[in-house]
Structure 1
């Protein structure tokens, strides 16, 4: 777990640094070209593949039970996120405010955590 924490900390630190630099640069008003603004806005995502790589490496290092718990947790998160986002999409059709796609990942993350707790309890 210690190796995972170091790798994840480094990947998340890279994401945060890129995010802060991107926000600062976009707010500075020095980018007149739309293509440049798009590139700078997407800069934080450079760290994304590294974060995914860290998670996959960790899943490859752990035992079968932990993998099973995480698979169940991800299934709960996937299905729950689909149900919540589709339901809210229908509510937007009747006047609810439109939400940014930025809310999808936090919903999935919370459901993944809850799914992990639920699945881990099942195997105690």
Structure 2
């Protein structure tokens, strides 16, 4: 499977995610009195195409050659360890009264560190 097919599959999964995200938020705002567990299931519904995104990405990673897999591994390692370091550090600061941060901050941090890791690893193997 080529790169265009991967982007097509990922794009469709992202479109499904965006559609369910907008739809679930709109529906929940219009039906504020909806009881659990239905409210919870609707709120989590965007994660169905989110799971599809995970599958598409993992499948693509398995198709990479050994060098590209190594570059991705090093980038993921930096993102994982760096995110743990930053979030634990900030956790200690929260104990001193710093404002609590939403879990939604973690993914952008991890993504930024992953991109940094890709740049560093790619440079290393040029």
Residue aligning to 1:91: 93
Look up the SS of the partner of 2:34 in the other structure: coil
How far, CA to CA, are the matches of 2:32 and 2:101 in structure 1?
29
Gaps of 5+ in 1: none
Q: Kindly tell me the number of residue pairs found equivalent between the two proteins.
A: 124
User: Residue 113 of structure 2 corresponds to which residue in structure 1?
Assistant: 111
Kindly indicate whether residue 36 of structure 2 is the aligned counterpart of residue 5 of structure 1: no
**Mapping 1:1-124, distance limit 5 Å:** 1-29=3-31, 31-124=33-126
**TM-score under structure 1 length normalisation:** 0.96
When normalised by structure 2's length, the TM-score is 0.94
1-side partners of 2:83 and 2:18: how far apart? 25
Residue 32 (structure 1) shift: 2.4
Determine the C-alpha separation between the residues in 2 that align with 1:54 and 1:120.
23
**1:95 aligns to what SS in structure 2?**
coil
Q: Which runs of 4+ in 1 moved over 3 A?
A: none
| C-alpha separation in 2, matches of 1:57 and 1:28 | 38
Q: Residues of 2 paired with 1:86 and 1:75: CA distance?
A: 16
**Per-residue CA shift, 1:49-94, capped at 9, x if unaligned?**
2111111111111111100000000000000000000001111000
Over the aligned positions, Cα root-mean-square deviation in angstroms equals 1.0
Distance 2:66 2:52 in 1: 24
